[in-house]
Amino acid sequence: MAYVIGQKCLGERYASCVAVCPVDCIYPGEHASKEFMVIDPTVCITCGACLPECPIGAIVESEDYDPEYAKVNAELAPSFKDNPKVPERAKDDPPRRPENKLVQ
């Protein structure tokens, strides 16, 4: 089962997960008119490298933990795949959405 980027990423997009992904399966784009990232479940090798990189805990280790966003990731991945890479945002940059907190 692939890792999943969930709703916490919506409007945040730190992109720190991209640099550590050994199979380049994390893509940027827009969802619900906001910045977002997805993990392509057909490419993800469930290595876990991305999980500790997200400063707001937007990544979960199984589709079972967030089935709604697992579906969103799978549906959007093909259209996000060829989008240009985005710059990495500083991990200590405060979240834009007040309900998100930096993970220590």
Q: Does the pLDDT value for residue 60 go beyond 90?
A: yes
Residue-wise pLDDT for 8-40, tens only, equals 999 999 999 999 999 999 999 999 999 999 999
The answer to whether 5 and 26 have CB atoms below 8 angstroms apart is: yes
Helix (H, G, I), strand (E, B) or coil at 29: strand
Q: Please report which confidence band the pLDDT of residue 58 belongs to, taking 50, 70 and 90 as the band edges.
A: very high
pLDDT at 48: 96
- Euclidean distance between CA atoms 97 and 18, whole angstroms: 21
- Euclidean distance between CA atoms 51 and 26, whole angstroms: 12
pLDDT at 83: 98
> Average model confidence (pLDDT) for the chain?
96
Domains contained in the chain, CATH given: 4-80 (3.30.70.20)
Q: Please report which confidence band the pLDDT of residue 82 belongs to, taking 50, 70 and 90 as the band edges.
A: very high
Q: Where are the alpha helices (DSSP H) in the chain?
A: 16-20, 67-80
Per-residue b or e along 86-104, where b marks 16 or more CB atoms closer than 10 Å to that residue's CB: eeeeeeeeebeeeebeeee
